[in-house]
Structure 1
Amino acid sequence: MTYSVFSTANNSNISQFKKLCEQHINKQEYPFAHDIINNVIIYDGDHLHQQSKEHKQAIQSEIYKALASGSGIIAIKNMWSDHQLLNQHNEIFNQILQEETVSGIAADHFAKAGANGRIWNSFQKVALKDADSFIDYYSNPLLSLVCQSWLGPYYQVTAQVNIVRPGGKAQQPHRDYHLGFQQEDDVALFPLPLQVMTQFMTLQGAVAHSDMPIQSGPTLLLPFSQQYKEGYLAWRKKEFIEYFNEHAIQVPLEKGDGLFFSPALFHGAGNNHLENFNRIANLLQISSVFCKPMETVNHTKILSNIYPSLLKKYQNNQLVHLEEIITAAADSYSFPTNLDTDPPVYGLAPMTQHQLVKTALTEGWDAQRFTQKLNEINHKRQA
């Protein structure tokens, strides 16, 4: 028999899939967890805040295990405890939606026109609208804790707001970026080990900006489905969709809760059955610093806009989580670059935006000098 690393949808095996999805979480394997509900590992945000410094790597190892070889899902209660900050963001979201509706660019590729409110690249748009609010939101140390667990010390944040209005319909089950956004025939061209690897390059997340009772249709999730190797080829098949519809679970969330799962997990938004209730989530897709994220984020524009606020907070000792916000806002990788014009000076790689921001803050550069140096770095990278 000839060995092959390639597979097709015809090789999908529903029996193997069912066997994986019928596993159960053992609470004893997750000592930092607050609870296990429907195989979803629930953490308490306040408890993680208290534990994170002393037990950071142990917590991160536990989160990684949950996402990779566990059920593939974690939830963190009260992850964003400042509801005033969430309300500020909701107001900004509404402003952006109104502006984009008037301009005619508002669109949701995943629902009928008008059914949902969707803001693409809410990450950058909020940064340009309200620097202080952006800094306070994305400096959340628990967000950094989860991202680092899956992706290491540096990562790329993208975000999209989804507002599901009354009557909003459920999505078909699917997997997400990267290969979840490719056609089945194209997926089959990639070796199966590479298909498996891609799920470790991104992390899916959602921040509840409203309460999300079951009737409002929080995300439908199929625990353990991320473990199925052929999943990127199988999720469109009828028998897999039927199994998902029969066995998917939902996690009710409260405002400020966070939900994170492997992009390879079979999932889909649920039906909003409530009248006069909008389900609001800031969807996070965090990518490895080594890969291409789904959305183009102009880090230069973001940094130029938020630097005056960063500097003021830094000089007033108000920037408690400096590393977290710089990692979120800046490009933390030296490559790709032009090594003729941007050679390594110290170490093996050229300066990153991340390093530049830290230098600027510690040396007290004014905004004009910082923007000039930022533009110089960008120019050096051009071929």
Structure 2
Amino acid sequence: MNNISIKEQRDHEVWVSSEAGDLEIFREQTSQITKSEDWPYAQDVIRNIVVYDGQNVRGWTKDPKSKRELMAEWTTVLSQGPGVLVIKRAMADLVAVDRATEVFEGIISAEKETNLAGGDHFAKAGSNDRIWNALEKHCIADPVNFTDYYGNTTLAMVSEAWLGAGYQITAQVNRVNPGGSAQAAHRDYHLGFMTNEQMSNYPSHIHKLSPLLTLQGAVAHCDMPVESGPTKFLPYSQLFLEGYLAFTRQEFQDYFEENYVQLPLEKGDAVFFNPALMHAAGENKTSDIYRLANLLQVSSAFGRAMEVVDRNRMLSALLPVLQSAKQSGTLPDDMLKSAIAAAAEGYSFPANLDLDPPVGGLAPKTQAQKIKEIIFKE
């Protein structure tokens, strides 16, 4: 193999372009059949999704051996299996669920009155109501109910199965109103919140890493028949490396719409899935169901820097230096951009999405983007 072919091969292996990804390979991966015998702790396999009984799960938590084996099974479902699992009656205390619903509805009403209700990255205005940072707001509004709701060994166990100890939970409540439209199929946080141009700047091993840092989940706060639009999933689609970029292409969107599966959910059920799984909220075709779910986003303890850095303080000192260097031409633009990258926050999250909602895009502008706009008049 000559040097040119080695260079080309490495470039192809490391960088994922917007044209990458073979639909036939994707079709083969997502044509797998989920076999019940592969998942001995499951209650059932329905439409390729592994389903567990919450009462059984709560019993297994009391036996260390069964608990560890079940967690290993969940890890395998999410990584190598269909990528999605449902736990029926994950919330044993439906009174606590109903009280949480009251809290959420109160927050939605209050935020509408104060015009705090912000933008949504995946829904048209008016089709849904969303609470950003619902975890904190829930805790402050009713700490007793928060304790009853999140004092849930099942939620803790599936989070630890995917992420290990020290995970952090965030939550966003989404209420899809009657007539609310369906989402376009997508992957989720982290890479799933970026544009194709941004995603193509991350090497392939980061495309593999991204879904390992987050667990996506949702708790149903009402019965959700299929016509109300519970989430549509394409099992095994998390296996497709190029999916973050490829899934924006029309042929993949069409394939999803022809092959997705949906399961009805009952109040208290929970669904958990690999964030790389191709999925989309369905259309609420009903006239009377306000489909309310508490969307759980659980993050790895490792998704953060080692030190706390006051970047606002740094930029207050740095900004006049950058402006002077730009105006005088003493430093080229690439050096200025490198200095900004070292000092400014280059990622949109974590963010206060009430104050800085992702209107017009999937994520708020980063600190680095804002500084570049000042320096380079972008």
Q: What range is the shorter-chain TM-score in?
A: 0.7 to 0.9
Structure 2 residue 72 is matched with structure 1 residue 101? no
- Farther-moved stretch of structure 1 (129-138 vs 2-11): 2-11
For residue 336 of structure 1, report the CA deviation from its aligned partner: 3.0
2:161 to 128, 143, 149: 149
1:66 to 60, 77, 102: 77
- Give 1:160's aligned residue: 172
- Give 1:131's aligned residue: 143
- Give 1:249's aligned residue: 261
Residue identity matched to 2:19: N
SS of 2:19 mapped into structure 1: helix
For 2:307 and 2:257, locate their aligned partners in 1 and report how far apart those are by CA, in whole Å. 43
> What TM-score does the superposition give when structure 2 sets the normalisation length?
0.77
> What TM-score does the superposition give when structure 1 sets the normalisation length?
0.76
For residue 56 of structure 1, report the CA deviation from its aligned partner: 1.1
Q: Which runs of 5+ in 2 are unaligned?
A: 310-378
Aligned residues of 1:206 and 1:283 also touching (Cα < 8 A): yes
For residue 107 of structure 1, report the CA deviation from its aligned partner: 2.8
Q: How does 1:74-89 map to 2 (within 5 A)?
A: 74-89=85-100
Deviation by residue 1:70-99 (Cα, 9 ceiling, x = unmatched) = 000000000002111111111111111111
SS of 1:173 mapped into structure 2: coil
Question: Matched residues, percent identical?
Answer: 41
Structure 2 residue 229 is matched with structure 1 residue 217? yes
Aligned length: 297
- Give 1:259's aligned residue: 271
Residue identity matched to 2:295: L
Structure 2 residue 54 is matched with structure 1 residue 42? no
SS of 2:61 mapped into structure 1: helix
SS of 1:200 mapped into structure 2: helix
Q: How does 1:1-383 map to 2 (within 5 A)?
A: 1=5, 2=7, 3-4=10-11, 5-54=14-63, 55-109=66-120, 110-292=122-304, 335-337=306-308
For 1:62 and 1:53, locate their aligned partners in 2 and report how far apart those are by CA, in whole Å. 17
**Cα RMSD after superposing both structures:** 1.2
For 1:191 and 1:113, locate their aligned partners in 2 and report how far apart those are by CA, in whole Å. 35
SS of 2:62 mapped into structure 1: helix
Aligned residues of 1:116 and 1:168 also touching (Cα < 8 A): yes
Residue identity matched to 2:30: C
For 1:108 and 1:43, locate their aligned partners in 2 and report how far apart those are by CA, in whole Å. 35
Aligned residues of 1:20 and 1:227 also touching (Cα < 8 A): yes
Q: Which runs of 5+ in 1 are unaligned?
A: 293-333, 339-383
For residue 200 of structure 1, report the CA deviation from its aligned partner: 0.5
For residue 337 of structure 1, report the CA deviation from its aligned partner: 4.6
For residue 52 of structure 1, report the CA deviation from its aligned partner: 2.1
SS of 2:91 mapped into structure 1: coil
Deviation by residue 1:161-191 (Cα, 9 ceiling, x = unmatched) = 1101110000000000000001101111111
For 2:243 and 2:59, locate their aligned partners in 1 and report how far apart those are by CA, in whole Å. 38
Aligned residues of 1:108 and 1:117 also touching (Cα < 8 A): no
For 1:28 and 1:52, locate their aligned partners in 2 and report how far apart those are by CA, in whole Å. 22
For residue 37 of structure 1, report the CA deviation from its aligned partner: 0.4
